[in-house]
Structure 1
Amino acid sequence: MAKILEVSNLEKTYSSGSKTLQVLYDINFKVEKGERFSIVGPSGSGKTTLLGLCAGLDRPDSGSISLCGQKLDNLNEDARALLRNRNIGFVFQDFQLLPTLTALENVAVPLELQSVKNASKTGMELLEKVGLADRFHHYPSQLSGGEQQRVALARAFSNKPAVLFADEPTGNLDAETGEKVEQLLFDLNNDLGTTLIIVTHDIELAEKTGHVLKLKGGRIISNETAEKW
């Protein structure tokens, strides 16, 4: 199968004053197109840093990343932003909806910025898929946490991304709501054939994906199919 993400010899260090902190050490892995892939580990293990590097939001100190057939090391910031806009979706733990926009506007505005025709119609279709068509005119403050994350899912899938990066997508939700959001995430993933890369500390969520990469102290300690893990 085609590789949609390839990470080779990746290392990342942060500096604070005279001190340096190495967050990632010699990270190597590959993700197949259409795969469901989890990155797990305790707090401080480097999960979110790794996700940001893989998505081209930050640059490593050494090593290389190939995403959707393009080497990120060769791209300037504008080219990286274009790659993300065309191919990447994001879901975050804290939803990151714009508070002054309605649910529909939060989904449709990214499409309008890309000059997609019938952006509002597409937005409504996506809100219907996540069960929020009747709440399209509500603002984030008028929605529950689970509803906000469902809007965030609709927005993330609006550009039919090749890869969706989800950072602790159920971290701020209770167990029952989290399970509903997980199912929606997987259903939308199936419908659109998106490659799904989830950063989570939730072992049960990770085991629902096909592959689990486990980090500890910035190093890979296992990289297995979920059945073997």
Structure 2
Amino acid sequence: MAKILNVTNLEKSYSSGSKKLKVLQDINFNVEEGKTFAIVGPSGSGKTTLLGLCAGLDRPDTGSINLCGSELSNLSEDERALLRNKHIGFVFQDFQLLPTLTALENVAVPLELQGNKDASKIGKELLEKVGLGDRIHHYPSQLSGGEQQRVALARAFSTRPSILFADEPTGNLDAETGEKVEALLFDLNKEAGTTLIIVTHDIELAEKTQHILRLKGGRIVENQQKHV
């Protein structure tokens, strides 16, 4: 099975006053194409920092990240943005919908940026798939948290990304709504054949994936591949 993400000897520090705070060290793992993968660990263990590095949103101090066949350290800022636009989808804990756009417009934006003439049609189909066919003209402020996250899921899958990064996708939702969003996430992912990487502190959610990477204090303490 081809590797869609390969992380080697990754280290990352941040300056805190005069001190240097090491957030990640000696990180090595890879993710196979089409698999579901969870990164878990307590708050402050480096999960979100690792996700940002893997998605090319930030640069490591040392080490290499190969994503979708490209070595990220060799790419300029613009080239990395292009790679993200072409291959990557994102789902965030706080939804990150554009408040001045309707549900349909939010889903259509990434497609329009790619010059897709069917952006509106695809957007409608996806919103119907996530159960929001009757809410396409509503603005984020008119939607519940669960509905907003479903719009965010539709947007993330709209460009049929090769890999989807989900950062605490159910973190702002109650248990029942969270379960519905989780089910949708896995269903859409299976249908699209996308590689899914979820950062979460929710062990139950992590257990639904095929591979769990556990961080503690910026280091990998467990790298468990499951036969799901």
Quickly name the TM-score band, shorter chain normalised: over 0.9
Supply the distance in 2 between the matched residues of 1:123 and 1:222 (Cα, whole angstroms).
39
Supply the distance in 1 between the matched residues of 2:226 and 2:104 (Cα, whole angstroms).
36
1:78 counterpart letter in structure 2: D
1:127 counterpart letter in structure 2: L
Shift of 1:225: 1.9
Which residue pairs with 1:118 in the alignment? 118
Which residue pairs with 1:181 in the alignment? 181
Q: Is contact 1:207–1:226 with CA below 8 Å preserved after alignment?
A: no
Which residue pairs with 1:74 in the alignment? 74
The percentage of aligned residue pairs carrying the same residue is: 80
Supply the distance in 1 between the matched residues of 2:160 and 2:189 (Cα, whole angstroms).
10
Superposition pairs of residues 10-29 of structure 1, within 5 angstroms = 10-29=10-29
Supply the distance in 1 between the matched residues of 2:51 and 2:202 (Cα, whole angstroms).
16
Aligned residues: 228
Q: Does residue 99 of the first structure (1) align with residue 96 of the second (2)?
A: no
Superposition pairs of residues 135-214 of structure 1, within 5 angstroms = 135-214=135-214
Structure 1's unaligned 5+ residue stretches are none
TM-score, scaled to structure 2: 0.99
Supply the distance in 1 between the matched residues of 2:176 and 2:122 (Cα, whole angstroms).
28
Q: Deviations over 1:108-134 (max 9, x none)?
A: 022111111111001001101101010
Shift of 1:20: 1.1
Q: Deviations over 1:152-182 (max 9, x none)?
A: 0000001000000000000000111000000
Q: Deviations over 1:78-98 (max 9, x none)?
A: 000000000000000000000
Which residue pairs with 1:83 in the alignment? 83
Which residue pairs with 2:6 in the alignment? 6
Shift of 1:16: 2.6
Structure 2's unaligned 5+ residue stretches are none
Moved >6 Å (runs of 4+)? none
Shift of 1:227: 5.8
Q: Does residue 132 of the first structure (1) align with residue 135 of the second (2)?
A: no
Shift of 1:136: 0.2
Q: Is contact 1:11–1:26 with CA below 8 Å preserved after alignment?
A: yes
TM-score, scaled to structure 1: 0.98
2:52 counterpart letter in structure 1: G
